[in-house]
């Protein structure tokens, strides 16, 4: 799983509000989605992940000292595509507060 280490984007990621695991409950078949300019680009269920959250944590624990507050980024559902300045993006996971943003221009 070399891509696990390739997802290290230290200091840069868009995150929604954090929710404690016990408040969310079990990761099962919650919907994960992404919309760009109001058009759904990605829409799947967390149960479609290749490895469970527990398996991902166990694997990465062999390389990192994981602790409370650490964030692990995973892959995304089918439908990945380009976005450009001015695009409005909205996404989320069922049961959690979503995230939305509008891309600015590079300076």
Chain segment 48-98, per-residue pLDDT in tens:
999 988 899 999 999 999 998 888 888 788 998 888 889 999 999 999 999
Q: pTM for this one?
A: 0.78
What percent of the chain is predicted at pLDDT more than 70?
Answer: 87
Which fold, 2-11+20-102? Fumarylacetoacetate hydrolase; domain 2 (3.90.850)
Residue 11 in this model has a pLDDT that exceeds 90: no
Which among 26, 9, 6, 30 has a CA at the least distance from the CA of 98? Answer: 30
Measured between alpha carbons, how far is 98 from 88 in angstroms, rounded to an integer?
Answer: 13
Q: Name the residue with tokens 């479609």.
A: 48
Total residue count of the chain as it appears in this document: 107
What is the pLDDT averaged over residues 33-47? 96
- Return the domain boundaries, the chain: 2-11+20-102
Residue 13 in this model has a pLDDT that exceeds 70: yes
Which among 2, 12, 19, 11 has a CA at the least distance from the CA of 59? Answer: 2
């Amino acid at each position: 799983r070399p891509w696990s280490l390739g997802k290290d984007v230290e200091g840069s990621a868009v995150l929604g509000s954090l929710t404690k695991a016990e408040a969310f409950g079990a990761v099962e078949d919650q919907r994960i989605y992404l919309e760009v300019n109001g058009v759904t680009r990605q829409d799947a269920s967390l149960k479609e992940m290749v490895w469970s959250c527990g398996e991902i944590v166990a694997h990465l624990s062999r390389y990192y000292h994981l602790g409370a507050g650490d964030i692990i980024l995973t892959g995304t559902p089918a439908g990945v595509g380009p976005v450009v300045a001015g695009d409005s993006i909205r996404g989320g996971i069922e049961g959690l507060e979503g995230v939305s943003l509008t891309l600015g221009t590079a300076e």
